């Protein structure tokens, strides 16, 4: 890979003058080396194992697995598309693939699925459909899924006299917060040892917050508030996937955000300004918060803090009497510019098969998309002493709703992130989101 400076400069000059030319030879035979990228370091060992197994079965194909952190992943990928050295296959996200598909950077998989008789019914319900684009074409095969739950510090709930059974049966409503707010208030302790629901509680000197705060959640609120808003009947968009009208002006949404942001005023949740810095998880690890709402991909981190026994509870039930959790599904996609489509298709099909997903399941870090592999992952977590039922029961009970897939996700985020920050930090009322909603909807006109 080493090149002299002159060659690099010349290449850069050519790239500038020609701007993104494709080409090169395209091999139709399934052999050679393919590059595979993913962002989660926790999953790297599992996928390296898959790659080794795959090469054992197909000695002509070598797979080079590279992991890059989420922060650099998408910009590096975009640069790769332009420079012509993007990975052949990469882990893809629902918030990103619509734009990549619209810009023709993804290979459609319909022919391969038909030709190789890939059975799409083996995946958990809905996951395979998430990856069919607006044009009706398939851009990815399901890899894994995630839901949201409550992580809590067991020593703190014990001290507060709240049992795990009570934690598993919390209810919520946007008016008084239900037993969910009661538990949060009771778990909040000020510097003098007074609890949040006791007289004389000093909300300006809080030692332990009942509820941790990660961020305002931008326009999606995946782990922050979407599990609440969904129980009021509210949806992000007019239809999903491919909504073109957002509903941030809906009173049900604004009331929920109002209630949630109000927790900070009451001293039950840190103020937004205090969350810039150490992660929510680390504050939990430092004993500064009793309950955190987070996705199942953080199970490993939450259960690894020394000296802290972490309990897991499902999200509270809401006004509709049910729980809710956003259901996000990842997939593996193939770059349209790959020099080796045949081998790439073979690798993606292998990643989406139980051969690989069982390997991932056995590591107990994430829930694979295939139903039978999901059960194996739950067993692997159990062997580590973690009961993941709060995450899997949402899928079994059908209380999940799909991640809102829409075009122009990055631009929506650009508007909603500051708007939500302003509301959650108390700088603007929840009604200001109506104006942000108008800006968002103007993007689709």
Partner 1 sequence: MAKLRDFRIALLFILPALIGLVVFSLVPTIRGIYLSFTEYSILGEPTWIGLDNYTAVFKDDLFWNAMAVTLQYVAINIVFQTVIALGLALLMHRVAKSTFIRGALLLPFLVANVIVALLWFWMLDYQIGIVNEFISWLGLPRVAFFGSEQWAIPTIAFVNVWRHMGYTALLIFAGLQAIPRHVYEVASLDGASPTRTFWSITMPLLRPVLVLVLVVTVIGSFQVFDTVAVTTQGGPVNATRVIQMYIYQKAFGESDFGYASALSVILFVILALVAFVQMKFLKGNESDLD
Closest approach of Cβ 12 to partner 1, in Å? Answer: 6
> Which is closer to partner 1, CB of 81 or CB of 242?
81
Binding letters toward partner 1, positions 198-237, x by CB under 8 A: ------x---------------------------------
Q: What are phi and psi of 344, to 5 degrees?
A: -65, -45
Among 42, 48, 78, 434, binds partner 1 (CB under 8 A): 78
Specify the stretch interacting with partner 1 by CB under 8 A; choose among 222-230, 322-330, 387-395, 418-426: 418-426
Distances from the Cα of 335 to the Cαs of 10, 106, 182, 228, in angstroms? 26, 5, 50, 36
- Range 28-32, long-range pairs (CB < 8 A, 24+ positions): 28/341, 28/342, 29/342, 29/343, 30/58, 30/60, 30/61, 30/340, 30/342, 30/343, 30/345, 30/346, 31/60, 31/61, 31/340, 31/343, 32/60, 32/61, 32/62, 32/339, 32/340, 32/343
* CA 13 from centroid of its chain's CA atoms: 39
> Which is closer to partner 1, CB of 77 or CB of 118?
77
Q: Is 134 in the site for partner 1 (CB under 8 A)?
A: no
Q: Is 83 helix (H, G, I), strand (E, B) or coil?
A: helix
Binding letters toward partner 1, positions 420-439, x by CB under 8 A: -xx--x-x------------
Phi-psi region of 240 (alpha: psi -120 to 50; beta: other; left: phi over 0): beta
Specify the stretch interacting with partner 1 by CB under 8 A; choose among 11-19, 118-126, 129-137, 340-348: 11-19
| Measured distance CA(244)–CA(408) in Å, rounded | 10
Q: Is 105 in the site for partner 1 (CB under 8 A)?
A: yes
> Which is closer to partner 1, CB of 62 or CB of 68?
68
Closest approach of Cβ 53 to partner 1, in Å? Answer: 34
Q: Which residues pair with 148 in a beta bridge?
A: 295
Residues 266-325 that bind partner 1 (CB under 8 A): 270-278, 282-283, 286, 288
Among 410, 429, 431, 438, binds partner 1 (CB under 8 A): 410
Closest approach of Cβ 97 to partner 1, in Å? Answer: 13
> Which is closer to partner 1, CB of 342 or CB of 428?
428
Q: Hey, what are 210's tokens?
A: 């009942």
Specify the stretch interacting with partner 1 by CB under 8 A; choose among 29-37, 46-54, 97-105, 180-188: 97-105
Q: Is 343 helix (H, G, I), strand (E, B) or coil?
A: helix
Residues 13-42 that bind partner 1 (CB under 8 A): 13, 16, 19-20
Residue of 317, 300, 327 whose CA lies nearest to 151: 300
Q: Hey, what are 205's tokens?
A: 């000197």
Neighbours of 428 (CB within 10 A): 18
Residue carrying structure tokens 């929510």: 280
Q: Is 27 helix (H, G, I), strand (E, B) or coil?
A: coil
Closest approach of Cβ 393 to partner 1, in Å? Answer: 32
Among 129, 418, 432, 444, binds partner 1 (CB under 8 A): 418
Check if the beta carbon of residue 63 is closer than 8 Å to that of residue 51. yes
Beta strand 206-211 with 289-295 is parallel
> Which is closer to partner 1, CB of 128 or CB of 428?
428
Among 53, 99, 249, 358, binds partner 1 (CB under 8 A): 99
Residues 137-196 that bind partner 1 (CB under 8 A): none
Among 29, 57, 66, 75, binds partner 1 (CB under 8 A): 75
Footprint on this chain of partner 1 (rule: CB under 8 A): 9, 12-13, 16, 19-20, 75, 78, 81-82, 99, 103-105, 204, 270-278, 282-283, 286, 288, 410-411, 413-414, 417-418, 421-422, 425, 427
């Amino acid at each position: 890979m080493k090149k002299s400076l002159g060659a690099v400069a010349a290449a850069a000059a050519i790239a500038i003058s020609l701007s993104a030319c494709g080409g090169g030879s395209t091999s139709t035979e399934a052999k050679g080396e393919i590059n595979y990228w993913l962002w989660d370091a926790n999953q790297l060992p599992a996928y390296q194992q898959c790659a080794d197994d795959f090469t054992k079965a197909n000695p002509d194909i070598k797979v080079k697995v590279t992991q890059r952190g989420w922060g650099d992943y998408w910009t590096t990928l975009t640069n790769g598309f332009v420079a012509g050295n993007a990975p052949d296959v990469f882990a893809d996200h629902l918030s990103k693939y619509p734009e990549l598909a619209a810009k023709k950077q993804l290979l459609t998989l319909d022919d391969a699925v038909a030709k190789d008789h890939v059975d799409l019914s083996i995946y958990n319900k809905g996951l395979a459909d998430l990856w069919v684009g607006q044009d009706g074409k398939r851009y990815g095969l399901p890899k894994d899924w995630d839901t949201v739950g409550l992580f809590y510090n067991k020593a703190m709930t014990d001290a507060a006299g709240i049992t795990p059974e009570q934690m598993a049966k919390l209810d919520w409503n946007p008016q008084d917060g239900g037993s969910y707010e009661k538990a949060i208030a009771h778990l909040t302790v000020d510097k003098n040892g007074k609890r949040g629901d006791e007289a004389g509680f000093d909300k300006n000197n809080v030692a332990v917050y009942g509820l941790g705060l990660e961020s305002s959640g931008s326009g999606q609120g995946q782990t922050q508030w979407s599990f609440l808003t969904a129980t009021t009947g509210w949806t992000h968009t007019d239809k999903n996937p491919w909504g073109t009208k957002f509903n941030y002006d809906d009173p049900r949404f604004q009331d929920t955000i109002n209630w949630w942001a109000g927790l900070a005023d009451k001293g039950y949740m840190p103020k937004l300004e205090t969350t810039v810095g150490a992660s929510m998880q680390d504050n939990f690890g430092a004993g500064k918060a009793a309950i955190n709402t987070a996705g199942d991909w953080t199970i490993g981190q939450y259960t690894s803090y020394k000296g802290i026994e972490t309990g897991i509870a499902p999200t509270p039930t809401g006004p509709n009497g049910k729980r809710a959790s956003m259901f996000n599904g990842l997939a593996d996609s193939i770059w349209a510019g790959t020099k080796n489509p045949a081998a790439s298709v073979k690798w993606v099909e292998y990643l989406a098969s139980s051969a690989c997903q069982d390997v991932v399941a056995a590591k107990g870090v994430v829930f694979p998309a295939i139903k039978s592999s999901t059960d194996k992952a739950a067993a692997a977590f159990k062997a580590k002493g973690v009961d993941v039922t709060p995450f899997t029961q949402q899928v079994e009970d059908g209380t999940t709703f799909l991640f809102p897939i829409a075009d122009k996700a990055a631009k929506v985020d650009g508007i909603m992130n500051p708007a939500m920050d302003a509301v959650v930090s108390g700088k603007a009322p929840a009604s200001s989101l109506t104006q942000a909603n108008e800006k968002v909807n103007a993007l689709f006109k």
